[in-house]
A = this chain, B = another copy of it.
Amino acid sequence: MSIIVQKYGGTSVGSVERIQAVAERVRGYRDAGHQVLVVVSAMSGETNRLESLGRSIAERPAAREMDVLLSSGEQVTVALLAMALTASGCAAKSYLGDQIRIRTDGNFGRARIRDIDTDRLQADIDAGITPVIAGFQGVDEEGNLTTLGRGGSDTTAVAIAAALGVDECEICTDVDGVYTADPRIVDDARRLDEITFEEMLELASLGSKVLHPRSVEFAGKYRVPLRVLSSFEKGPGTLITTENTAMEQPIVSGIAYARDEAKITMSGVPDIPGIASRILGPVARALIEVDMIVQNTSEEGITDLTFTVIKPDFYKSMKLLSDVAEEIGAEKVLGDENIAKVSIIGVGMKTHAGVAQKMFQTLADENVNILMISTSEIKVSCVIEEKYTELAVRVLHEAFNLEQKETEA
């Protein structure tokens, strides 16, 4: 017998029928002798519906109240799933974030988990009861409800797995694992049996929607064995490992892309010390997250600075930059929303030279112009024109032989 945490996302509990299917699946694990703790999200679409309800009440709804509003979504799902389990003869009990004291800090809408009281959960496991836990929510020290932000249910699952020291944390979703590239774009994209935490973290950060980077980071930190698999079909999914067990690493494990960013360039900037901070300061103060930043080498005391932000922050950022440009006497501010970021990821590239060069050459061969470049030890990202996204993903997948079995790479 092993103890497993299973997390089911919004799509997996999106209807009465799906909730019943999840109950059936959980019961299968129970019947096979395992003990399961289930973490669920709100039914698909529900969090968005509640959020827009809140925004129709007030342009800037009180953050404390938004969390009270949003956390009602998971409350509905835990009750329904616990009902379905009980009705199918599997003893179950629902828990809200505050009922098992998922204590967080007081940052509404993006709270961080501090600790979890596992007494109740452990007592249930000992008594053969399946706890059904509301993901995404917690309670701060003053008893206010908090939510963990997007991807929060994954984080709840990992945190519970870590706190209880379970055998595995399964993220059950609508795809059957982590792929070498988006299967909707690359026909021969291949499901990975294993991937390292570092790679998964880069994949998640660079646009793969399978797991939220925060939960991957959390799982890596607490060494929780994490597996991504399908809620609907049988299959082993992808195991996220701390150490790769393969004899030799493939150079590149996967290709990711993101189309949710826009790029802003300020050109003709006087190249004096502190200028990057003067340009990006107002953006940071507006709590806008900047992703890639590139500053060209200065020529005759004049330079350009380019950075990317997510699209919802684009207009606000352009406005802020226009003001800054005037202040510092920059030439102009240019914005471009039609961009995509394509990345190759792999721990293997740490020890292989020429990986980045191969990526640039592959894109050049297809006449795809590279607008920005950013690298780390295990990834290379290129910003390109958005229209080339699918083409770039496909040719990179082929160039790095990702359709082949890992042992052949």
Contact = CB atoms under 8 A, between A and B. Distances in A.
Interface of A: 16, 19-20, 50, 53-54, 56-62, 64-66, 68-69, 71-72, 75-76, 78-80, 82-84, 86-87, 92-94, 96, 98-99, 143, 145
Given A54-B80, A62-B83, 14 more contacts: A54-B83, A57-B84, A58-B87, A61-B83, A61-B86, A62-B86, A64-B94, A65-B79, A66-B83, A68-B75, A68-B79, A69-B76, A72-B72, A96-B145
8 nearest CB pairs, A to B:
A58-B87, A69-B79, A68-B79, A72-B75, A72-B72, A62-B86, A61-B83, A65-B79
25 contacts: A16-B56, A16-B57, A50-B76, A53-B80, A57-B83, A58-B83, A62-B82, A62-B87, A64-B93, A64-B94, A65-B78, A65-B80, A65-B94, A66-B79, A68-B78, A68-B79, A68-B94, A69-B75, A69-B79, A69-B83, A72-B76, A75-B75, A96-B145, A98-B98, A99-B143
B58 A84 contact: yes
A69 B80 contact: yes
A69 B42 CA distance: 12
Contacts of A61: 83, 86-87
A40 to B, nearest CB: 12
B80 A57 contact: yes
A87 B58 CA distance: 6
Contacts of A145: 96
Number of copies: 2
A365 B165 CA distance: 81
Contacts of A92: 62
Nearest to A100: B143
Contact of A68 (B20, B54, B96, B98): B96
Nearest to A67: B79
Contact of A16 (B19, B53, B64, B72): B53
Given A16-B53, A72-B75, A82 B96 contact: no
Contacts of A76: 50, 53, 69, 72
A263 to B, nearest CB: 35
Contacts of A96: 68, 145
Contacts of A72: 72, 75-76, 79
A19 B99 contact: no
A71 B71 CA distance: 12
A133 to B, nearest CB: 12
A335 to B, nearest CB: 32
A183 to B, nearest CB: 33
Contacts of A93: 64
| Residue in A16, A59, A75, A84 whose Cβ sees the most chain B Cβ within 10 Å | A75
Contact of A75 (B71, B84, B99): B71
Contact of A57 (B19, B58, B60, B65): B19
Contacts of A98: 98
A20 B57 contact: yes
